[in-house]
Structure 1
Amino acid sequence: MAIPSFVDRATLRVQGGNGGHGCTSVHREKFKPLGGPDGGNGGHGGSVILRVDPGLTTLVDYHRQSQRRATNGQPGEGDHKSGANGGDIVLAVPDGTVVTDADTGAIIADLIGEGAEATVAAGGRGGLGNAALATSARKAPGFALLGEDGEQRTITLELKVLADVGLVGFPSAGKSSLIAAISRARPKIADYPFTTLIPNLGVVVAGDTTYTVADVPGLIEGASEGRGLGHEFLRHIERCLAIVHVIDCATYEPGRDPVTDLDIIEGELAAYGGLEDRPRLVALNKIDIPDGRELADIVLPDLEARGLRVFPISTKTGEGLNALTYAMADLVRERRASLPAPEPARIVIRPEPVAGSAAAFTINKMGDGEGGFVWRVRGDKPERWVKQTDFNNPEAVGYLADRFTRLGIEEKLLDLGAREGDAVAIGAGENPVVFDFAPQIQSGAELLTRRGDDERLHDERASVKRRRELDAEYHAAKAAAEGLSRDPKQSWRAMEDEQG
């Protein structure tokens, strides 16, 4: 199957890179058996970024390859070595690309202007190594945090051509010929309907005004409902500042005349919606043909009576084109002046919820009571912490329990009536992590010391103990000798007692 050269809609599967895992390591050096934790952090995963490239006019690259993924972050290493960050992928898109979420239909970004960009799949954050987790109370963590998975989603790219003036009309009305006559664009021109299968763009200079003109191919009666090609290309006229009706005054099709053609196209634009505020011009084309000139003279008063500015033209001889181009320039200039000034870019700061606040998590009671209740905990922090935890490491699980306690989840569950043994599900989707609720019971209670602490760091070495015992005996004997010499009476009495 041949791949088209022009694609204005594409579905793309994007995924950010996964974050690297943190490292669990203890520094080892001669004469330093307990050098402390030195595990480095994992690197962040790369992101998928869309960026406008003015040189592009099609989405064909994403029609050929519909999956893009950024690289993963590297895991941390010992000796405080952090893993490398994954590389971002920057995807070039044409100006005027609208990005929507394929699952929800929500608009993610509307990319207009050179260099405009949007991150559509963020990379996962790297996990912390045990060196970063060490505190004054937890001097030797025996665990590290896992890296987070990168964001993955399916997006729809939709190109809406950016043009100042849009040309609309029936097939073979002369839209492509008009663009070729007033600009340097060279679209395909032939004497059969639906010659133009893609929107054509041309740049026109009229006096001090420079503007772009685009034609919308395939508009016929019923185009807004899917007939012809109008259903695919009507959206390209959404961004146009003005509309020019190109009407064929020399058609031989029965039942067609300029007024009827105008009414049909206006009906399709109204059915599509959102174009009522665009100013209109009417170009009566092909007046170089005798019948066409006569018909244009007949309908000209009727069209002007509707309040429309009408220009009889011939794309073949060039008659009337100069007046039409300057009229289009006037409309574009007036329309640009009426538009509100673009707002300057603002930096929006959205602080994270305060730990322990009600906004940090939510708890819902689920179940009918017959098979037991499930307490569903949702929240950015709890769900992220679950993903960072290595459940094969009891110490890491205990650290997770401590984090939940500090956040206030255990207290909130007790307030809601949760009992020991109830199931607590934490995580998004259909496969959350399920715990058995055990209030005030530490997951790491089997450890002899505080989680993440090493008792050997507090124990004194045997040599130090012996030296301190000898020092204590020496000072006791010295103190006894000094006591005899300072109190002679006490010393003679002690001697008499010993001799009997």
Structure 2
Amino acid sequence: MPRFVDRVVIHARAGSGGHGCASVHREKYKPLGGPDGGNGGRGGSVVLVVDPQVHTLLDFHFHPHVVAPSGKQGAGSNRDGAAGADLEVRVPDGTVVLDEDGRLLADLVGEGTRFDAAAGGRGGLGNAALASRARKAPGFALLGEEGQARDLTLELKTVADVGLIGFPSAGKSSLVSVISAAKPKIADYPFTTLAPNLGVVSAGDHTFTVADVPGLIPGASQGRGLGLEFLRHLERCAVLVHVVDCATMEPGRDPISDIEALEAELAAYTPTLQGDSTLGDLADRPRAVVLNKIDVPDAHDMADFIRDDVAKRFGWPVFEVSAVRRDGLRPLIFALWDMVATYRASLPAVAPRRPVIRPIAVNDNGFTVTSDGEGGYVVRGTRPERWVSQTDFTNDEAVGYLGDRLARLGVEDELFKQGARPGCAVTIGRMTFDWEPQTPAGIDVTMSGRGTDIRLEQTDRIGAAERKVARKERRRPDGDDE
């Protein structure tokens, strides 16, 4: 039996940006060609797109990891790296996107509606883009930024045109199996469906979908049983059908009391998609009542006895059916189609929606400096953390460039105000530094060899001059010392 999946958690990872290139133009008779390193390409983003041909989230159940391609690295001769293509992920109409904290990010309704689930990383700048009056030929380039990684919850709220509701073992699954090609689990002992069963029903030249919502019980709107898990499937159903078991032998139950109990749960349920004018309120949806299991003699007598009372009390159309003998199914099918067509025609046309972005308030200063309680400090901010991730720490000149950027932003001045002492640990992003405030930083930089910075006095990296001296020492004959 095919599985119906209506709630999944996906791990979306956008592509990382390509690294910039550090290159110097080389041509015969032109020894000072200048920097010509290209920029890295932007990483691809993960984009959710509504596709009317997709009806379930089953694919994400087996493949929850969604990864977009990364950008390519830049090259010499001012050649920029290729950008990674955006990965478009097809989702059903009516998919709701939630973040890790349960906040509603998007309600994807309408064909073609798009939502950026994870943004691709920026490409790193090449040394040609980093050249300035102070650094005429930078010996470094910026690294590409990592793509955004997010865990998102997808909930499917568009299940069917008609939703069958009722107590457990009321015969909803049996009814779906005889009016459509769906094959839900059916047995001759009491049990409840654990997942919605979706079936396509043909009414002449027209088709519509019917969902068997798992059995509801009193208290479902407060989370009792499986109520909250599947009440959401009724939010976009055009017609709600009460399937009543006329053959039940449980004390204290009768068809009218069953309908009133379920209506009370529907009234107490708070939909996630509140304020959606295209859906209307659950209380305004057309309803019908199906008196099921009339193949049982006592049930047939019960249906005949209460039919008029139900119609008079609730004002809804009432149908007597038997899923076993297939009695009364054809009038029911065409009546449901008429109700669905009428309701859909009364609604405004659904247009693709723009995703609603709800930004979280952040500090306008661009960064914050806080103490870690152990003598160190933590710098948080979008720009400082991005700059650190783009820095190649094996290149002294790149480290010096990072120090200049942080100083111009005001990080060093804020550390002074916070009482930071030389040598204390300062953490930015994933990196921890030993702070040296005496290191001068500014726009004017003393020229030095490519890949070096004379302000970094202590470094484990062997410079070009030291390697040249060591090479001469190795080549010197043994007798030259005398």
Would you call these one fold, judging by a TM-score over 0.5?
yes
User: Does structure 1 residue 311 correspond to structure 2 residue 318?
Assistant: yes
Deviation at 1:104, TM superposition (A): 1.8
Matching of residue 300 in structure 1 with residue 299 in structure 2: no
Structure 1 spans left out of the alignment, 5+ residues = 352-357, 455-500
- The reply on whether 1:35 has 2:33 as its aligned counterpart is yes
Secondary structure in 1 aligned to 2:300?
Answer: helix
Task: Supply the AA of the counterpart residue of 2:47.
Answer: I
Contact residue 373 and residue 422 of structure 1 kept, 8 A: no
Query: Is the alpha carbon distance of 1:95 and 1:422 closer, same or farther for their aligned partners in structure 2, counting shifts above 3 Å?
Result: same
Task: Give distance in 1, aligned partners of 2:424 and 2:452.
Answer: 30
| 1:408 shift after superposition | 4.3
- Asked whether the equivalents of residues 95 and 112 of structure 1 are also in contact (C-alpha less than 8 Å), the reply is yes
Count residues with an aligned counterpart: 441
Distance 2:355 2:130 in 1: 32
Corresponding residue number in structure 1 for 2:470: none
Q: Quote the Cα distance in structure 2 between the aligned partners of 1:247 and 1:255.
A: 14
The alignment's TM-score, normalised by the length of structure 2, stands at 0.75
SS in 1 for 2:107: strand
Q: State how far apart, in whole Å, the 2-side matches of 1:311 and 1:349 are.
A: 45
Question: In structure 2, what is the Cα distance between the partners aligned to 1:334 and 1:26?
Answer: 71
Amino acid at match of 1:76: G
Distance in 1 (CA, whole Å) between partners of 2:54 and 2:38 is: 42
CA–CA separation in structure 1 for the residues paired with 2:314 and 2:198: 28
Is 1:234 paired with 2:234? no
Q: Secondary structure at 1:266's aligned position in 2? A: helix
8 Å contact kept, 1:419–1:437: no
Q: Which residue of 1 aligns with 2:371?
A: 366
Q: Deviations over 1:282-341 (max 9, x none)?
A: 222234544323212333354345434141321456665566556545654565466566
% same residue:
56
Residue of structure 1 equivalent to 2:258? 261
Deviation (angstroms), 1:176: 3.6
Q: Assess, with a 3 A threshold, how the Cα gap between structure 1 residues 288 and 310 changes in structure 2: closer, same or farther.
A: farther
Q: Relative contact order (C-alpha < 8 Å, sep 6+): which is higher?
A: 2
Question: For each residue in 1:8-67, what CA deviation from the matched residue of structure 2 results, as whole angstroms up to 9, or x when unmatched?
Answer: 333332322222211111111221111111112222223333333434443333333333
Structure 1 pair 72–330 and aligned structure 2 pair: CA distance change class (3 A): same
Q: 1:253 to 1:18 in 2, by over 3 A?
A: same
Aligned to 1:199: 196
Number of the residue aligned with 1:10: 8
Hey, what does 1:94 align to over in structure 2?
A: 92
CA 1:339/1:407 → structure 2, altered by over 3 Å: closer, same or farther? farther
8 Å contact from structure 2 (residues 16, 144) kept in 1? yes
Distance of 1:438 and 1:445 partners within structure 2: 17
Contact 1:280 1:308 in 2 (8 A): no
1:79 maps to what in 2?
Answer: 77
Q: Given residue 9 of structure 1, which amino acid in structure 2 is its aligned partner? A: R
Shift of 1:277: 4.9
Residue 387 of structure 2 is matched in structure 1 by 385
Quick check: 2:407–2:442 contact (8 Å CA) kept in 1? Answer: no
Gap change, CA 1:360 and 1:247, over 3 Å in 2? same
* Distance change (3 Å), C-alpha of 1:206 and 1:6: closer
Residue 242 of structure 1 contacts residue 280 of structure 1 at CA under 8 Å; is this kept in 2? yes
**Change in 2 beyond 3 A, CA 1:171/1:438:** same
2:48–2:115: 8 Å Cα contact kept in structure 1? yes
Q: Which has the larger radius of gyration?
A: 1
1:150-192 deviations in whole A, cap 9, x for unaligned?
2122222333343232111134433244445555656565544
**Contact kept in structure 2, 1:138 and 1:452, CA below 8 Å:** no
2:129 to 105, 128, 132: 132
Going from structure 1 to structure 2, the CA distance change for 1:325 and 1:91 (only over 3 Å counts) comes to same
TM-score, length-normalised on structure 1? 0.73
3-state SS of 2:22 partner = coil
RMSD of aligned alpha carbons: 4.2
Q: Which amino acid aligns with 2:82?
A: A
Measured after TM superposition, the shift of residue 111 of structure 1 is 3.0
Deviations 1:387-418 (A, max 9, x none): 1112232222222233234434455666x465
Does structure 2 conserve the Cα–Cα contact (< 8 Å) formed by 1:394 and 1:443? no
Alpha-carbon separation, structure 2, partners of 1:49 and 1:347: 12
Structure 2 unaligned blocks of 5 or more: 272-281, 454-482
